[in-house]
Structure 1
Amino acid sequence: MEQLVGLTPTLIHLKTPHPLVQWCDLSNIVFSDPFFNQTIARCLRENPSRLRFQTQLDALADLHEISPGLEPTGFIFHMSKCGSTLVSKSLSALPQNLVISEPAPMNSVLAADVLGMSEAEIIKWLRLLISALGQKRRESETNYFIKFKSWNIRKLYLIKKAFPNVKWVFVYRDPIEVMVSVLKAPAEWMDLKSKSITDDPIWTELKSTPRISESITGFGAEEIEQMSSEEYCARVLASFCQTALQMADRNALMLNYKQLPEAAWSSLLDFFQLSLSSNEKNRMRDQSQLYSKDQTNKRVFVNDSDAKQKQSSEAVREMASKWLAELYESLELHRVSGK
């Protein structure tokens, strides 16, 4: 299995008789795009003949045996639409940081319970997948961060069992502002309500699986059907915040959007025990001045909190007050007091 060294798992197909891993040669590639899938797409556009092939799932164990990846430095979780990409992009501005942002294979593993995979098996494959994604691509890389999708926080109990000592951050924001953003540009879990079609084959595969909505959101399909879009959005976001609060321990840091971008090169670095030079902090600061989801790195960041507050409907404000206001205050209390 020496041929696997230097390759990256880009997709995992579990809904097959024999689970498959799709690999791509991403050696010497810098994960500089806002999201993992964007880096894959960019690499294939630039070099369509880049090596790609499939193996069975056991290949993850084979790669770990011959070439274990970096040990994770930290995990980034988030409420959704709240500045987590700014955090990951700021960290990725430095050559010593390998930052994998919302890798598609992670979703397949974390939702594998709906296919009958046991908790012990999920933890096993989670460790092996994170090892495979953590392969060094530059000699400078010593720190390894993963930013998870918003719904992945609901699987934090598994992630903590797999990596009990890894520090993690939960990024959150004023619930009204988050809801306005999610309803305008829906996160994937909103598709379980809208039944819209995405261009992500793995998400389409997961959506067609019985019990997937309950696994990801905590609500069954019939229950979701009875909710308005605003209620569903608020209650799912509430489940994310509640999970973060319930799982918070000495390895957790709550980070409010209003602390950004300054926190990215101050309290966040202290939390992860990273010592940076003034020049390195300036590089992070420069990166944070740009809109984090712009692949061209040209669009300047503009704080849109006031605009989102003005755009909020009565239904959004009502559901945010009912399901999220108290949780937001609890997150703020934890952030300030540390407990």
Structure 2
Amino acid sequence: MSSIKKPKKLFPKHTTVEEHPTTVCYKLPAVVFKYPFFNEGIQAYRMKGHAITNETLDAIDIIPNRQIELKGFIFHTSHCGSTLLVRMLQTTSHIRVISETEAINGLLLSYVLHNLPKETVQKQLKKIIESYCQPLGDEKHVIFKLTSWNVFMIDVFLELYPTTKWMYLDRKTDEVVASLKKSDGGFAQWWQQPTDILKRYFTGEGYHYTTKEAYLIHMVKLHRKQAQLHTNSHTLHTNYHTLLDDFIKIIAHFELNLSDQEIENAKKTTAFYSKSMSKTPYSIS
């Protein structure tokens, strides 16, 4: 018996980091949105032997009245439970979560490294966001979980979507720094880079860091400051230690309707490691 082919659509995969950034798009099924990180879903899809054809953002035609609804943005500090929140939201069939896509990261890095005009970046960003809102499968709502350092460009998003709901998920500075020092991921890796371009952009020209720990502490505080500076009537602040208790508040903030059973199913994901597709029981080592 031949397998039934799943419907696909063209979605942004990544954006090249250069003076004229190009957003590369793949034709993909809806299942890629169910991974902890969007690009991880693409990698898993490719590893199963599926053929991939590269296209660019221009190949996507946006039909405004046929888009699924953009419900909001999740900004956050690093190592704060944001991936767990993604996994909880992904348990429902009607919510599509775009988690830390390299299509947005590459564009924003190009913005920083090549000093691109904000208007040019916003035009491309809007097309990327709209492209992820194309209907496919049962999903009716879209939430974007951005990479932590994207909060430094929060104005780029809020100017495009001034009335869209957003939240900031925080965690105690010392806990974030301790976790980053163990994993050395995210912006912690910038410490090892031979040039200071990225570090200087985010920490500010006048800041002089002497140790990696001092750099990490400063960056975590700056993440928080950016969220506080842009807080408005569409913002929800929560934190790592109250995330589970605040889940009802979060879905209400984003105006998502979940049944009691869907909420119960979402909370069951806390028993497993959020960054793994396999149901590995969570334990504190």
TM-score of the aligned structures, taking structure 1 as reference length: 0.75
The equivalent of 2:119 in structure 1 is 120
Query: Structure 1's 112 and 89: CA in aligned 2 closer, same or farther, altered over 3 A?
Result: same
Distance 2:87 2:177 in 1: 23
The equivalent of 2:211 in structure 1 is 228
Out of 62, 82, 92, the position equivalent to 1:84 is 82
The equivalent of 1:183 in structure 2 is 181
Give the match's secondary structure for 2:144.
Answer: strand
Q: CA deviation at 1:250?
A: 0.8
The equivalent of 2:96 in structure 1 is 98
Q: CA deviation at 1:263?
A: 2.0
The equivalent of 1:293 in structure 2 is 275
The equivalent of 2:244 in structure 1 is 261
Unaligned residue ranges in structure 1 (runs of 5+):
197-207, 308-339
Distance 1:282 1:65 in 2: 35
8 Å CA contact 1:69–1:133 kept in 2: the answer is: no
Q: CA deviation at 1:282?
A: 1.3
Distance 1:94 1:30 in 2: 14
The equivalent of 2:42 in structure 1 is 40
Q: Which runs of 4+ in 1 moved over 3 A?
A: 65-69, 210-215
Q: CA deviation at 1:102?
A: 0.3
Give the match's secondary structure for 1:72.
Answer: strand
Give the match's secondary structure for 2:61.
Answer: helix
Q: How does 1:24-39 map to 2 (within 5 A)?
A: 24-39=26-41
- 2:265 partner amino acid: R
The equivalent of 2:221 in structure 1 is 238
Distance 1:154 1:19 in 2: 19
Give the match's secondary structure for 2:34.
Answer: coil
The equivalent of 1:214 in structure 2 is 200
Distance 1:152 1:68 in 2: 28
CA shift digits 1:202-222 (9 cap, x unpaired): xxxxxx7x843333x2335x9
CA shift digits 1:73-95 (9 cap, x unpaired): 01111111011111111001100
Give the match's secondary structure for 2:29.
Answer: coil
Q: CA deviation at 1:30?
A: 4.4
The equivalent of 2:132 in structure 1 is 133
Distance 1:242 1:70 in 2: 32
The equivalent of 1:337 in structure 2 is none
Q: How does 1:267-306 map to 2 (within 5 A)?
A: 267-300=249-282, 302=283
Q: Aligned pair count?
A: 277
Give the match's secondary structure for 1:26.
Answer: strand
Q: CA deviation at 1:170?
A: 0.6
- 1:232 partner amino acid: Y
Please identify which structure carries the higher helix content. 1
The equivalent of 2:4 in structure 1 is none
Distance 2:154 2:64 in 1: 28
Unaligned residue ranges in structure 2 (runs of 5+):
1-7
Distance 1:174 1:295 in 2: 27
TM-score of the aligned structures, taking structure 2 as reference length: 0.88
Q: CA deviation at 1:13?
A: 1.3
Query: Structure 1's 149 and 109: CA in aligned 2 closer, same or farther, altered over 3 A?
Result: same
Give the match's secondary structure for 1:64.
Answer: coil
CA shift digits 1:128-161 (9 cap, x unpaired): 11111222221x2111001001100010011100
